[in-house]
């Protein structure tokens, strides 16, 4: 008897372990599924809806087809525009407000989507959800969606950083102010608040999502972060470190792209592919095993060193010396890495890479560092972006984004970054879920930075965070989209299925946007690929590998995550 009893308990323990390994944490609660409702109020909202510090400026019915995505009509909905916290700045005397729009579908699915926008915010992007070249938008799927300017106007003007409150709104406060207002407006329009709420975006929108994960873990049930620039000020300084490196080998000092031309970047991508493409079992132009590739590839050894003049098919020894530290990770004056390494991949010559590498550090990162994050801020009237990026010591930049004074009492590293991003216990324990994706060839926010975060999250959760947070690396993908990649996927549906139906995403199918793609053609898709090639995206640390015996490189079915 004793033996049988012991065996039985061993079996029970075994089954429990198996359940934990395949299904995740049994102890986590499952949130109930949302139920839909019909829009009961639209044009009356400017007078009928009352919320503190809020003005609804207009509400109009948009007919089906008044907005389209991917060649398909967005169904009839209500477009509400408004603003919160109109005020005059004590620093620059200008008028500020948090501008927003909400789009409320006539046939609502019971869910709210907070669309976090990219760049330095400053404009109200069309509130339809997304964050990349998604096949269908959140609005098309029936979500009520909000979009905002995060508290200032001007998507390419960093001088809002003179106003301290505008810094805080951009960092984290606008989302916190908009969230309860948006839920109340939904209740006014439909007769009930949202059953389930989701927060998502790419780039700075991914940063907003990381911030929301840590500052608003009770307000949202699902968080979808793409290419999260969650340490944005440090990424911007790292990019200016890169500009300084390029400047040492640029043949035309006023054009940094002469340091590392498109032909030379294509040569590096080809050399990486030669070393790494087949590591996943398929020589298909995609490097699935990013980690193994970093050990296999060596810039010094695998890219020819020019013996004479540069011809695009080699790098000079000076170029290699200048470029290698950008990949291995920007360092401060004492040689300490302050951001992340960048992995070698197949997309270093993608269409947008020269923008991020050579234009952005001089014209965008510099202004952000000096005016939005630096204390004290630079004077917008005399600011010179390229001069700032190329002549300000890295240590001075790092000190300024960590500084405070009597006016700017919270530093950029405090208001821009998530609070303890590897401590997500509050959202985890109430049943909320997190999905993060990041392009491996992203030239501005490094997928390695996100990998380090996810490894930290795993470590903080006993070595496995997959019961509530999953991270998908997208081989070849540039910043949020593009690159020689399968960059079209619907992670929002995967997230809803996980939150509301308990179906954790074991993989997500992604498609290339070749000729004929309805949302827009990705010009980086190689002509040798099937135009709508598909691949499974795999939750880290799994990678997609060719199934034994499979030969069809056009389809995801030939691959499995392992």
User: Which residues are known catalytic residues?
Assistant: 203, 442, 479
Q: How far is the CB of 282 from Ca ion (least distance, A)?
A: 5
In terms of Cα–Cα distance, which of 227, 36, 43 is closest to 141?
36
Token output for 468: 């509530």
Asked if 193 and 186 count as a contact pair (C-beta separation under 8 A), the reply is yes
Who's near 7: CB < 8 A, 6+ residues apart?
A: none
Instruction: Indicate the residue among 277 and 500 with the shorter CB distance to Ca ion.
Output: 277
- What the block records as the tokens of 257 is 């792209």
By CB under 5 A, residue 282 contacts Ca ion? yes
Which of 17-25, 158-166, 282-290, 525-533 is the region at the interface with Ca ion (rule: CB under 5 A)?
282-290
- Tokens read off for 359: 């234009």
Identify whether 355 is preceded by a cis peptide bond (ω within 30 of 0): no
In contact, 395 and 263? CB cutoff 8 Å = no
DSSP string, 204-268: HHHHHHHHHHHH-TTT-SEEEEES--TTHHHHHHHHHHHHHHHHTT-SBTTBGGGGS-HHHHHHH
489 is written with which tokens?
Answer: 């996927």
Q: How far is the CB of 517 from Ca ion (least distance, A)?
A: 22
C-beta of residue 374 within 8 angstroms of C-beta of residue 400: yes
> How many other β-carbons are positioned within 10 Å of the β-carbon of residue 207?
27
Interface residues for Ca ion in 242-281 (CB under 5 A)? 277, 280
Q: Does 284 bind Ca ion (CB under 5 A)?
A: yes
Q: Minimal distance in Å, beta carbon 284 to Ca ion? A: 5
Least distance from Ca ion to the Cβ atom of residue 256, Å: 31
In 7-89, DSSP assigns E strands to 37-38, 54-62, 68-69, 72-73, 77-88
In the complex, the smallest distance separating the C-beta of residue 453 from Ca ion, rounded to whole angstroms, is: 26
Rule CB under 5 A: which of 194-223 touch Ca ion? none
**Token pair of 50, please?**
């009352």
Pick the closer one to Ca ion by CB: 361 or 475: 475
- 149 vs 487, which CB is nearer to Ca ion? 487
Distance, C-alpha 240 to centroid of its chain: 20
Nearer to Ca ion, 142 or 476 (CB): 476
Size of the site for Ca ion (CB under 5 A): 5
Nearer to Ca ion, 101 or 280 (CB): 280
CB neighbourhood size of 353 (10 A): 25
What's the rounded Cα separation, in Å, for the pair 518 and 556?
Answer: 20
Cβ proximity to Ca ion: between 235 and 478 the closer is 478
Comparing CB distances to Ca ion, the nearer of 292 and 314 is: 292
Whole-number minimum distance, CB 546 to Ca ion, in Å? Answer: 8
According to the binding rule CB under 5 A, does residue 80 interact with Ca ion? no
Q: Name which of residues 285 to 324 contact Ca ion (CB under 5 A).
A: 286
Shortest spacing between CB 299 and Ca ion, in angstroms: 20
Give the residues lining the site for Ca ion (CB under 5 A).
277, 280, 282, 284, 286
């Amino acid at each position: 008897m004793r033996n049988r009893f012991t065996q039985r308990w061993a079996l029970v323990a075994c089954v429990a372990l198996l359940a934990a390994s395949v299904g995740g944490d049994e102890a986590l609660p499952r949130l109930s599924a949302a139920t839909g409702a019909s829009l009961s109020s639209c044009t009356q909202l400017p007078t009928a809806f009352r919320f503190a510090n809020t003005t609804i400026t207009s509400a109009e019915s948009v007919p089906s087809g008044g907005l389209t995505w991917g060649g398909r009509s967005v169904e009839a909905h209500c477009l509400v525009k408004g603003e919160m916290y109109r005020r005059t700045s004590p620093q620059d005397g200008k008028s500020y407000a948090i501008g927003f729009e909400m789009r409320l579908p006539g046939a609502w699915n019971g869910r709210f989507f907070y669309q976090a926008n990219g760049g330095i915010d400053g404009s109200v992007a069309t509130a339809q959800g997304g964050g990349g070249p998604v096949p269908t938008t959140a609005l098309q799927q029936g979500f009520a969606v909000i979009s905002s300017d995060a508290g200032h106007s001007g998507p390419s003007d960093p001088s809002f950083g003179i106003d301290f409150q505008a810094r805080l709104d951009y960092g984290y406060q606008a989302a916190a102010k908009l969230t309860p207002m948006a839920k109340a407006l939904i209740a006014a329009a439909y007769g009930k608040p949202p059953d389930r709420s989701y927060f998502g975006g790419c780039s700075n929108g991914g940063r907003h999502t990381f911030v929301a994960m840590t500052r608003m873990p009770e307000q949202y049930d699902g968080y979808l972060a793409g290419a999260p620039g969650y340490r944005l000020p440090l990424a911007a300084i790292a990019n200016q470190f890169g500009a300084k490196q390029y400047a040492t080998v640029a043949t035309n000092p006023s054009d940094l792209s002469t340091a590392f031309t498109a032909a030379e970047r294509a040569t590096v991508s080809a050399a990486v592919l030669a070393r790494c493409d087949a590591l996943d079992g398929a020589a298909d132009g995609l490097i699935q095993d990013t980690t193994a590739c970093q050990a296999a590839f060596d810039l010094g050894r695998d890219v020819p060193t020019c013996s004479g003049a540069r011809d695009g098919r080699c790098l000079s020894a000076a170029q290699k010396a200048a470029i290698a530290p950008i990949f291995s990770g920007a360092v401060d004056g004492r040689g300490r890495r302050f951001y992340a390494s960048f992995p070698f991949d197949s997309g270093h010559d993608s269409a947008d890479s020269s923008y991020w590498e050579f234009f952005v550090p001089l014209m965008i990162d510099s202004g952000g560092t000096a005016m939005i994050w630096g204390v004290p801020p630079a004077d917008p009237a005399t600011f010179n972006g390229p001069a700032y990026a190329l002549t300000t010591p890295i240590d001075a930049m790092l000190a300024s984004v960590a500084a405070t004074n009597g006016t700017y009492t919270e530093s950029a590293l405090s208001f821009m970054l998530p609070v303890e991003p590897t401590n997500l216990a509050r959202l985890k324990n109430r049943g909320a879920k997190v999905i993060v994706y990041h392009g491996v060839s992203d030239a501005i926010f490094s997928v390695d930075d996100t990998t380090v975060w996810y490894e930290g999250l795993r470590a903080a959760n006993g070595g496995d965070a997959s019961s509530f947070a999953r991270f998908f690396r997208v081989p070849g993908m540039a910043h949020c989209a593009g690159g020689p990649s399968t960059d079209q996927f619907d992670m929002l549906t995967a997230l809803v299925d996980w939150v509301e139906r308990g179906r954790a995403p074991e993989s997500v199918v992604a498609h290339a946007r070749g000729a004929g793609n309805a949302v827009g053609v990705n010009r980086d898709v190689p002509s040798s690929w099937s135009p709508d090639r598909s691949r499974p995206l795999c939750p880290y640390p799994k990678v997609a590998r060719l199934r034994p015996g499979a030969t069809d490189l056009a389809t995801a079915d030939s691959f499995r995550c392992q």
